[in-house]
Amino acid sequence: MDHLLNVTAVLSVLLLAIVLLSLRRAHIRPEYSMSWLLASVVMLVLSRERSVLEFVRLHTGVPDTPLTLFLMAGSVFLVIFFRFSIIISHLRDDNIALAQRLAILEYHIQRLREHEN
């Protein structure tokens, strides 16, 4: 159990470092890094504060502590992925609308040029 918690703590710190480094290099925008920072901090706290993990386990009725940790981590990342799916969907819609607008505006410009000549 301790080994599992230690591995989780190391992975959380690693994730935190990667996200902060990506932020510094502007590879990720701050608004999209918040979910990852929050997830890594939550995982770090759960892996270091065993009492919190036990509290969650007792209140969710999960039979053992490692499974609680696994479920917590899974839930957090599922929420993040779902949030990103929504963001990607919005971006795709915007992207298509912009591409269509660009094409139509170029068409109108071309028409105006032909009209002038």
Partner 1 sequence: MIHSGGPGSLVVIVPAFNEEGAIAGVVRSLHESVPGVPVLVIDDCSSDGTIAAARAAGAEILPLPHHLGLGGCVQAGYKLAYELGFEYVIRVDGDGQHDARDVPRIFEKLKSSGCEMVIGSRFVSENGSRAGAVRSLGIRFFRLVLRPILGKPVHDPTSGFVGVNRRALDVFSRSFPLEYPEIEALVVLQRKRFRFEEVPCKMHPRTTGRSSITAMKSLYYIAHVLLGVFVNVLKYEHRTHRAPRSPGG
Residues contributing to the site for partner 1 (CB under 8 A): 96, 99-100, 102-104, 106-107, 111, 114-115
Task: Kindly state the smallest distance separating residue 102's Cβ from partner 1, in Å.
Answer: 5
Q: Which of 78, 71, 70, 52 is nearest to 8 (CA)?
A: 70
Closest CB 110 distance from partner 1, rounded Å: 8
User: How many other CB atoms sit within 10 Å of the CB of residue 34?
Assistant: 13
Nearer to partner 1 by C-beta: 10 or 105? 105
Q: How far is the CB of 90 from partner 1 (least distance, A)?
A: 13
Nearer to partner 1, 64 or 106 (CB): 106
d(CA 68, CA 46): 10
Residue number, 7 or 97, with CB nearest to partner 1:
97
